[in-house]
Amino acid sequence: MRNLIHPEQNELKLDAVLSALADPVRRRIVSQLSDGHDDQACIAFELPVSKSTSTHHFRVLREAGVIEQRYQGTSILNTLREADLEARFPGLLPSVLVAARGDLLPIGDLPL
């Protein structure tokens, strides 16, 4: 079985995470993972891009440390690395998800 490489929590780089989250297709993937259950197969995502482009987006998210991917049979399952991201960059992921969903929080309610 092929091994997929993921950065360790202490290897996560802010620039790589922000770059990965800058793309709206990748934010859609992250948002769906945060709303659903863990271990969603790549085919579970309805993305407005070709299969090869979606593969690229998943790879960017994995290499930045935003998601974890693992093989199960012929499928690749995806899990959002919420705990690792929160430990390394507190409040970043919730803020990105709120913005991605178009929710506006009053300034006093933003996570610090």
65's CB contacts (< 8 A; 6+ apart) are 6, 7, 9, 11, 12, 13, 16, 17, 81, 84, 85
Enclosing H/E stretch for 88? helix 82-88
pTM: 0.85
Whole-number pLDDT of residue 110: 47
* Per-residue pLDDT tens over the stretch 19-72: 999 999 999 999 999 987 778 888 788 888 888 899 999 999 999 999 999 998
The answer to whether residue 108 scores a pLDDT higher than 60 is: no
Q: Which helix (H) or strand (E) holds 79?
A: strand 75-80
